[in-house]
Amino acid sequence: MAYCSKCHAFLDNDACFCKVCGLPVSAPPVYTVSPMVSGVENPQWAAITALVCGILSIVLPCIPLVPAVLGIIFGIIGLKSTQKPMSIVGIVLGSIGVLLFILVVLYYIFVVAIIMGSMPDFSGDYSDVALALRTLV
């Protein structure tokens, strides 16, 4: 049971004014509910995670594929949130990270192929090398 702050009279639970002194009663606190998306919490965390993973996929040169794929996955999940632009940026950066990974792998394959093509053939006779080593010793 509530009391009036001026005259200390008892107040009804739904009273807007005190019956004795007429003082307006403060309204009870109004509780709000966070927005829901199809019965599930708003996945803002997924949009933020997509953006962070997308940035990491471009910044980290050593392991770009893992955060890139995670950025794409969390970006798709985050499209259902109110942070849709952040999710889209995460998807785009994750896709760029995947493309960078593919380009780096192709570059290393190309470099290895060039190096292996320019290596001398060691499958021949080594008698001249052994003779040169004996003369040095």
| pLDDT tens digits, one per residue of 27-77 | 555 566 655 555 556 678 889 999 999 999 888 866 778 889 999 999 999
Domain count across the chain: 2
Q: Mean pLDDT of all residues in the chain? A: 78
Q: Is 1 inside a domain boundary?
A: yes
Average pLDDT on 81-85 reads 85
Q: Are residues 15 and 48 in the same domain?
A: no
The domain in which residue 107 lies consists of 37-118
Q: What is the pTM of this model?
A: 0.54
At 17 the pLDDT is 79
Q: Tell me the C-alpha distance between 94 and 64, whole Å.
A: 9
For residue 116, count CB atoms less than 10 angstroms from its CB and return exposed for 0-12, middle for 13-18, buried for 19 or more.
exposed
pLDDT tens by residue, 32-41: 665 555 555 6
Give CA angle at 118 (116, 119), nearest 5°. Answer: 65
Question: What is d(CA 8, CA 51) in angstroms, rounded to the nearest whole number?
Answer: 56
**Does 124 reside within a domain?**
no
Evaluate whether residue 133 is within a structural domain.
no
